[in-house]
Each structure stands twice: as C-alpha cells, then as structure tokens.
Amino acid sequence: EIAVVHSALGGFCNDIMKDSRVVVPAYKRIGACFHLTRLFAVTCWGSFFMLIVIFPFINLLMQVIKDPVNAKYTTIYPTRYPWDTKSDGILYRLSYLLESLAAFSLCVVTTGVDGSILFYIFQAVSQLRAMSYRLHHVREGESYDGVMKTCAVHYATIVRCRNELQRIYGPIILYNVSSCAALVCTLIYQLSQ
C-alpha cells in the first residue's frame, strides 16, 4: 500500500523534474523540509539516546572507577527482571545491552517514520504547487482544458495518496505519541527514585 503511494508521488515528482519551468516553484521549500527532518533526527538522537543510554553508562563507569564495591548498577528503563540486575555480572550486561538496543531501535524507527511521512507530504505539496503554476502559466499552444484535465487527474491521485497516508500513518503516529507519553512517565518515575 505504501509502495503505491511511493510510486504515485515519485512518478509525479519525475514529471515535475522533466518540466523545467515548474521545478523552482514546486521545490521552493525543499531546504526547509530537509532541515526539519535533520533537526528532528539530531534532537531525537541527541536528547533521547544520549540521555537514556550514554550518560547512565558514563555515570556507571565513573562509579566503578571511584568505588567498585558501592557502585549502583541501574538499567536504562525502570524495570524488574526475574534475575538480579543490581550487581555487575553477565545478566546485568545483557539486560543493559537489550535495553540499549531497544532505545536504539526506538530512535531509528521514530526518525525513519516521521521523516518518511514528511517526505511524502512534501512530495504531495510540491505536486500541488506545480499544478498551480501550470494552471496560472499555460504555455502557448497548450489547451487550458487539457492542462485542467491533467491537473484534475493528478489532484484525484493526490487525494487518494493522502487518504492512504492517513490510513497507514494514523495508527503509527497515535502509537508513537502514546508510547512517548508512557516513556516520559517512566522517565519521570525513574528521576524521582
């Protein structure tokens, strides 16, 4: 289903690239899209992964260097396992590795999903801008009715793509928001301990 959206919007973008007069108006804000995606990725990786995985690991290393007997071995998430994770051992290290991989995959999935939906939205908006430019600047020898018909067909396809994106990404975004809320709650709980 997402492949259909990808091929439809990708085909429209290929059409835009073939028509040199609409490239600039259609892709006028492409830099903002890339900067927003990059900013989100840096924020997600910098704030989440660094604060959740790297800093506790550095803190643990400093505790072990200063006083290995009284070092407090904490996991990334405030969870309980059926094995002992309060002392240094293979089970603690495996638990920490498992939670680190979970945090890593959360960052990868979050930035990938949000970046891809932003990319598809940008492609749809670029197509709408290109259609607007074509309707306002009809070339000599072109029929306005022909341009209007082509734009209407493209618009109908964009509406179908929009509906498909809402159907696909709606539950994903809802899941991301709710899981982030749960994560914030667990982090607040962990900070209070």
Tokens 């835009």 -> residue: 16
Q: Given pLDDT bands bounded at 50, 70 and 90, which one contains residue 184? A: confident
Q: Given pLDDT bands bounded at 50, 70 and 90, which one contains residue 185? A: confident
- The fraction of the chain above a pLDDT of 70, given in percent, is 99
Higher model confidence: residue 85 or residue 118?
118
- Using a 10 angstrom Cβ sphere, with 0-12 exposed, 13-18 middle and 19 or more buried, the burial of residue 121 is middle
Phi, psi of 118 (to 5 degrees): -65, -40
Give the CA angle between residues 84, 87, 91 to the nearest 5°. 50
Q: What is the pLDDT of residues 150-174, one digit of tens each?
A: 889 999 999 999 999 999 888 888 8
- Alpha carbons 183 and 105: distance in angstroms, whole number: 14
Both tokens of 107, joined, read 């960052």
- Residue 149 is predicted with a pLDDT of 93
CB 47 within 8 A of CB 147: no
Q: Given pLDDT bands bounded at 50, 70 and 90, which one contains residue 193? A: low
Q: How many independent structural domains does the chain possess? A: 1
- Residue 109 is predicted with a pLDDT of 82
Cα 93 to its chain centre, rounded Å, is 29
Average pLDDT over residues 89-106: 83
Number of H helices, E strands in the chain: 6, 0
- Quote the domain boundaries for residue 175: 2-192
Q: What is the pLDDT of residues 126-143, one digit of tens each?
A: 888 888 888 888 888 888
Q: What is the pLDDT of residues 9-55, one digit of tens each?
A: 888 888 888 888 888 888 787 888 788 888 888 887 777 777 777 78
- Residue 87 is predicted with a pLDDT of 76
Q: Using alpha carbons, select from 152, 167, 162 the residue that is nearest to residue 124.
A: 162
- Alpha carbons 160 and 116: distance in angstroms, whole number: 17
- Residue 51 is predicted with a pLDDT of 74
Sequence-distant (≥ 6) Cβ neighbours of residue 151 within 8 angstroms: 131, 134, 135
Cα dihedral 131→132→137→141 (10° resolution): 30
pTM of the model: 0.71
